[in-house]
Structure 1
Amino acid sequence: MREQNARLRKAVESGDLSLIQLYRPGLHKRVTELLQAATTNPWLVFTAYNLFRLAYGKTLELMVNDAIQIDPVASQGFEHLGGANQADWVGLGSLAGVLYDLTTEAGAESHMERFYGERMRIVTYDPPW
């Protein structure tokens, strides 16, 4: 996960949003549209930033899932869930039923407060903001 975050972070810090475009094309399009519109309506910068934060997290989740899927051991231990109102992964085999969520340190507490939080492990990442 650290490798994926470092790669995504480095790209974003250099202004390269191609990974977000690759993994989350719809979010990428919406963020860039909002940023363009913000040139005439500065209030849209806040909306664009919030959507960008979501796009970063979802992109990282999918990058980590790709890394899990190509690993012959890890791919047998986790199933990707993702989506609204559910964890990002569930453990399989000896980890069966254990849920995993990827979030920032700042978001960890709110993730633990979710209805499934008592069975969840939080994995945090450090975003570029």
Structure 2
Amino acid sequence: MNKFITLSLAALAMSACATTPVPSGDWTLAEIDGQAQAATVMQSLTFDSANQRVSGTGGCNRFMGGYTMEGATVTFGGLATTRKACLDRDVTNAEAKYLGILSENSFELTTVAGQLILTSASNRLVFNQ
């Protein structure tokens, strides 16, 4: 019996250290901090786990960069954006907020019922696939 408990605890400890799988596919931002995103603002996120790269749209511009995963924590680094002029101030503001949040935080990454959720100490982003 002790051998079974020891093996079970060892398996549990090893699974706790495992890296959370990075969700594949394109994800569309649905809400920031509980506030639904306007349907007119298309913001997205796509992971390329083979190359540890991330890309997406902020509203007007595309962004791309790297990321690191440690356990269930994802950190985005060195995000670069295109520099198209955006004529809609609401879209410009939404893009600045979204890209600012991605650039300044590490997130706990979870997937639940077709949603990707990124939670930091100060923000929560919810994406739909």
Q: TM-score range by the shorter chain?
A: 0.3 to 0.5
* Structure with bigger gyration radius: 2
Give the structure with the larger strand fraction.
Answer: 2
Greater RCO (Cα-Cα under 8 Å, separation 6 or more):
2
| TM-score, structure 2 normalization | 0.33
- State TM-score, norm by structure 1: 0.33
